[in-house]
């Protein structure tokens, strides 16, 4: 919880003086403890405005995956990590025009649709671009389930 009048610099200086931590480590602790929006708020923000049309598609993906087991959600400001326990197996990111699904399947062959993630996101190995809700199909769920099971 933020304390009025106490800056991040004051906290990192205190961590340095009392515990010998460097500036970077102190800043990491401050960032970890800083108040962040709740997961539901972050997900709502990701699917706000022109991206709102993708929320039902995202919810369908999560619902289907939960048939295989518990799926943890770890939203950031720009995408949502999908987790099996603490292991990330996929991510979902929305733009106004499409929903991108990143999948972590090391060693899996690419196809025209199941492309390499390249520089898009280094946390996953493959990327599927969803231009319309109908593109969320059995093929996509096969890849996602393979990634889930492999974690």
List the domain boundaries for the chain. 1-35, 39-150
**pLDDT at position 3:** 65
pLDDT band, residue 9 (cuts 50/70/90): confident
Reported pTM:
0.75
DSSP annotation of 74 reads E
**pLDDT tens by residue, 110-151:** 999 999 999 999 999 999 999 999 999 999 999 999 999 998
Residue carrying the six token digits 């099996």:
84
d(CA 126, CA 93): 13
**pLDDT tens by residue, 12-62:** 899 899 999 888 888 878 776 665 557 889 999 999 999 999 999 999 999
**pLDDT at position 85:** 92
């Amino acid at each position: 919880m933020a304390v009025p009048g106490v800056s991040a610099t004051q906290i990192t200086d205190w961590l340095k003086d009392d515990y010998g931590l460097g500036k970077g480590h102190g800043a990491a602790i401050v960032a970890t403890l800083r108040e962040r929006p709740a997961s539901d708020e972050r997900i709502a923000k990701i699917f706000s405005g022109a991206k709102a049309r993708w929320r039902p598609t995202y919810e369908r993906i999560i619902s289907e995956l939960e048939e295989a087991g518990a799926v943890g959600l770890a939203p950031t400001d720009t995408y949502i990590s999908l987790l099996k326990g603490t292991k990330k197996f996929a991510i979902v990111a929305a733009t106004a025009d499409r929903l991108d699904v990143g999948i972590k399947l090391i060693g899996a062959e690419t196809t025209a649709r199941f492309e390499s993630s390249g520089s898009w996101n280094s946390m996953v190995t493959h990327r599927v671009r969803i231009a319309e809700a109908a593109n969320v199909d059995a093929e996509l769920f096969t890849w996602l389930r393979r990634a889930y099971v492999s974690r």
